[in-house]
Amino acid sequence: MTKHVVNSQPQAVLSPEIKSKMRQLPVFFIALSLMLWSCGPEQAPILRFDHAAVVSAHPLASEVGASILKAGGNAVDAAVGVHFALAVVFPQAGNIGGGGFLVTRDEHGAAHSIDFREKAPAAAFREMYLDEFGEVIPDLSWKGHLAVGVPGSVAGMWAAHDSLGSLPWADLLQPAIDLAALGFALTAKEAEALNEKIDRFRTYNTRPALWWEKDVWQAGDSIHLPDLARTLSYIRDLGPAGFYQGPVADSMIAEMQRGQGIMTHEDLLAYDAQWREPLRGSYRDCEVISMGPPSSGGVALLQLLELVEPFPLSSYGFHSAEAVHLMVEAERRVYADRAKHLGDPDFWPVPVAGLLQPAYLQERMKSFSENAATPSDSIFAGNPLVLESTETTHYSIIDAQGRAVSVTTTLNGGYGSGVLVGGAGFFLNNEMDDFSAKPGVPNAYGLLGAEANAIEPGKRMLSSMTPTIVTRHDSLLMVVGTPGGSTIITSVFQNIINIVDFNMGMNVSVSAPRFHHQWRPDQIDYEKDAFDPKVIQVLENMGHKLSIRGPIGRVDAILVLPGGSLSPGADPRGDDWSSGY
């Protein structure tokens, strides 16, 4: 193999015109980073940008995206910059060791999606997480080296950029390299997230690394990641070959061997990101464009919207008992379908068209009663026609030409498997847990699955990620998505309803409290203050069980206002931040 000399130092690889615009970035990042930990990153709501906007989980990543847009990059260029910046400053979910989905629509209405979901290694097999009695071994698909799926992010970003990007790849990687090499300060929320995981890091890693050097992290602690800067420099200089081959790949496989993982060089070489037809459906006077299998997100979202469309949600009122009851009843039916019918379409004939047929969906709602909860025990997956053979993070971007990009990406749990690739400085995912390890046994998000989502070599595990773009009368209306495991689908669903039925502004919509039902367990999970006590009483009288829980998702979205300016919504549940011009 050719030896490449890669310089981990921040380098002047920018083309001259972009260089002048982006030259001040490192100094700006350090200043912003200091400001963030000294006063906390809470952003006062920004009402509008005139031309272009980025909303992501971290202020520094949003600023990278905005600087690329200002320098003339398009939304895909900005997505690449944001993705790699998140891999540095937001390691709990931003990643190069994970995967995700990208949905994009250009100003003429052409839409595309890229599946860069992780794949099961070739040595994976159906019973790999079961003991000799056929029982699931706790944590084996969730923590450590065996939980790792073959990462897709670098291939996905490359595919997007190769077809739709406009600025040089190297220029888009450089801000992330600068952040890793020059350093940044931890926010309070990141310090807290790290502190929860230090024991896991120490248990599953075999090499020293910054993240578990200390016992307690604090807001303002300074982070320098030279190994990660070097890894990103390989990717900057060599593209996917800098990750799936060469020294970074060698480090990943050496890490696997130290920890008895099963991913091999052949798995890395065989990884491919896939262009897939996005799913398109309608809701009232809007078109909804979202991600198809191997995410369940688009199918489930379109099913939910179709199920509630015949009902006058706006006259019921926001979070009224009628509205919540209707949405929950739709959700339990849709999640029952998800558990049986959804999986990787390259391995399982997912009946997408059948699941979205209006006649099929009307049939699913025949058992709906306006006055009483339908127990989940009496709801089963339907029999759609087979009409064809066939801690996550989200960012939303709109550029000055009107191209929209919606990306949800993840390592699965916060910091994924907890395994950091020794010497290469990045965390590997624990996405194998998204397979159904055994029919009837729930995964980390309580989700059930069966044959369609059983483990097979080279197969992609089912996802709930729902990066979505909504248009009205052929004009872009909103870009939306969120993390949150199984709650992703219902959070996107609620935000579309907030905008379309309840006419909210985007800041109000992303901040509004949320609720969730996923068929099993048979309960409505809700955030504190989501419901008036009287609404809770009415729902309980109908037979619903309610369970209060912590924050649901972190929705980052952008609304196009009449007249064309952009109103961002950065979820206040996290450090999420909007930037633009």
Task: Name the residue nearer to ligand DON (CB basis): 98 or 165.
Answer: 98
What DSSP string runs through 498-514?
Answer: HHHTT---HHHHHHS--
Contact (CB, 8 A) for 305 and 493? yes
Please give the residue ranges that form the binding site for ligand DON (CB under 6 A): 391-392, 410, 412, 431, 434, 463-465, 483-485, 488
Q: How far is the CB of 128 from ligand DON (least distance, A)?
A: 18
User: What number of other Cβ atoms are within 10 A of residue 375's Cβ?
Assistant: 11
Task: Name the residue nearer to ligand DON (CB basis): 376 or 408.
Answer: 408
Q: How far is the CB of 387 from ligand DON (least distance, A)?
A: 25
Handedness of CA 40, 577, 467, 412 (dihedral sign): negative
User: Among candidates 559, 566, 10, 565, which has minimal Cα distance to 286?
Assistant: 559
Cβ neighbours for 472, distance < 8 A, ≥ 6 positions apart? 285, 286, 287
- 513-to-301, 390, 533, 539, 567 alpha-carbon distances in Å: 19, 38, 14, 17, 19
Contact (CB, 8 A) for 186 and 221? yes
Q: How far is the CB of 145 from ligand DON (least distance, A)?
A: 18
Q: How far is the CB of 484 from ligand DON (least distance, A)?
A: 5
Q: How far is the CB of 358 from ligand DON (least distance, A)?
A: 27
Task: Name the residue nearer to ligand DON (CB basis): 239 or 483.
Answer: 483
Residue written as token pair 């490192």: 26
- 333-to-329, 437, 520 alpha-carbon distances in Å: 7, 23, 10
Q: How far is the CB of 414 from ligand DON (least distance, A)?
A: 7
Annotate 339-380 with three-state secondary structure: HHHCCCCCCCCCCHHHHHCHHHHHHHCCCCCCCCCCCHHHCC
For residue 516, give the 3-state DSSP assignment: strand
Q: How far is the CB of 10 from ligand DON (least distance, A)?
A: 31
Contact (CB, 8 A) for 90 and 190? yes
Rounded to whole angstroms, the Cα distance separating 300 from 33 reads: 38
Task: Name the residue nearer to ligand DON (CB basis): 463 or 494.
Answer: 463
Q: Is 418 left (phi over 0), alpha (psi -120 to 50) or beta?
A: left
User: What number of other Cβ atoms are within 10 A of residue 274's Cβ?
Assistant: 17
**Residue whose C-beta lies closest to ligand DON:** 392
Q: In the structure encoding, which two tokens stand for residue 520, read together?
A: 């099993």
Task: Name the residue nearer to ligand DON (CB basis): 300 or 542.
Answer: 300
Cβ neighbours for 534, distance < 8 A, ≥ 6 positions apart? none
Rounded to whole angstroms, the Cα distance separating 488 from 511 reads: 15
To the query of whether residue 392 is one of the catalytic residues in this protein, the response is yes
Task: Name the residue nearer to ligand DON (CB basis): 83 or 403.
Answer: 83
Task: Name the residue nearer to ligand DON (CB basis): 174 or 392.
Answer: 392
Task: Name the residue nearer to ligand DON (CB basis): 183 or 294.
Answer: 294
Which residue among 392, 408, 482, 487 is the active-site one?
Answer: 392
CB burial of 108-137 (b: ≥16 within 10 Å; e: otherwise) equals: eeebbbbbbbbbbbeebebebbeeeeeebe
Task: Name the residue nearer to ligand DON (CB basis): 8 or 486.
Answer: 486
Q: In the structure encoding, which two tokens stand for residue 48, read together?
A: 């509008």
User: Among candidates 302, 292, 282, 350, which has minimal Cα distance to 113?
Assistant: 292
Known catalytic residues are 392
